[in-house]
C-alpha cells in the first residue's frame, strides 16, 4: 500500500529507446531487485526496425538482451537481484545451428525471403533461454540470478492479432488455456 509506481517508456524495437530508458532508470539511483523481460510480438509480418534488424528478433530478444547489458551494473549493486526472461515452450521447435552443428548467426535476424513468423518467434524465444542460462552462469557468483520461464500453453492475450489463422487457433484453444 505504500508502493510508488512510476511508468517509463521503452520501445524494444529501437535500441536507442532501450539506451535512453536505461540511462533514465540509472539516473533515478534506485535499486533494481527484479527485472522481468516479458515483451513479445508473435505472428508479425516481416519488417525491419529502425536498427535494420528483423522486428521479431529485436523486440523479443535483442532489445531485452541490450537492456540487461545496460543495467547489469545496477543489478549487481542491487544484489540479491533477479532477471526473469519470459520465453515459450515453442523454443523447442527450432535451432540456430547450421548443418555442421555450428551456431549460425544469420538465422537470427531473418531476411524477407527466409522469413516465417512462427520460426522467427521460436528462434527469438530460444535465444531468450540461452541468454538467461549464460547470464545466470556469469552473474550468479555476484548475487544476480537469471531464470527463463514458460508462462503456460497459449495463454490468451492479443499477441495473436497479426494473422487471422492465429486468432482462430487461439480462439478455439481459449476454453482450454489459462487466462491472464
Show Cβ contacts of residue 119 under 8 Å, excluding neighbours closer than 6 positions.
Answer: 94, 110
Options 66, 115, 121, 156, the catalytic residue: 121
Q: Can you tell me the distance from the alpha carbon of 25 to that of 77, in angstroms, rounded to the nearest whole number?
A: 14
* 8 Å CB contact between 121 and 60: yes
Per-residue exposure over 137-149, b if at least 16 CB sit within 10 Å of its own CB, e if not: eebeeeebbbebe
* 8 Å CB contact between 38 and 68: no
Question: Would you call 156 a catalytic residue per the annotation?
Answer: no
Q: Can you tell me the distance from the alpha carbon of 152 to that of 15, in angstroms, rounded to the nearest whole number?
A: 29
* 8 Å CB contact between 162 and 42: yes
CA dihedral 85, 86, 88, 92 (to 10 degrees): 10
Active-site residue numbers?
121
Amino acid at each position: 500500500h505504500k508502493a510508488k509506481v512510476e511508468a517509463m517508456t521503452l520501445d524494444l524495437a529501437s535500441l536507442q529507446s532501450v539506451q535512453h530508458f536505461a540511462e533514465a532508470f540509472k539516473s533515478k539511483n534506485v535499486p533494481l531487485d527484479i527485472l522481468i523481460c516479458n515483451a513479445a510480438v508473435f505472428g508479425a509480418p516481416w519488417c525491419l526496425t529502425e536498427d535494420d534488424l528483423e522486428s521479431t528478433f529485436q523486440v523479443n530478444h535483442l532489445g531485452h538482451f541490450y537492456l540487461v547489458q545496460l543495467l547489469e551494473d545496477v543489478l549487481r549493486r542491487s544484489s540479491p537481484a533477479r532477471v526473469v526472461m519470459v520465453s515459450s515452450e515453442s523454443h523447442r521447435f527450432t535451432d540456430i545451428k547450421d548443418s555442421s552443428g555450428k551456431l549460425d548467426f544469420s538465422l537470427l535476424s531473418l531476411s524477407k525471403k527466409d522469413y516465417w513468423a512462427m520460426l522467427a518467434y521460436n528462434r527469438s524465444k530460444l535465444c531468450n533461454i540461452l541468454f538467461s542460462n549464460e547470464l545466470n552462469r556469469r552473474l550468479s557468483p555476484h548475487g544476480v540470478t537469471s531464470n527463463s520461464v514458460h508462462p503456460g500453453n497459449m495463454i490468451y492475450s492479443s499477441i495473436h492479432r497479426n494473422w487471422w489463422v492465429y486468432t482462430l487457433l487461439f480462439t478455439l484453444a481459449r476454453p482450454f488455456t489459462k487466462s491472464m
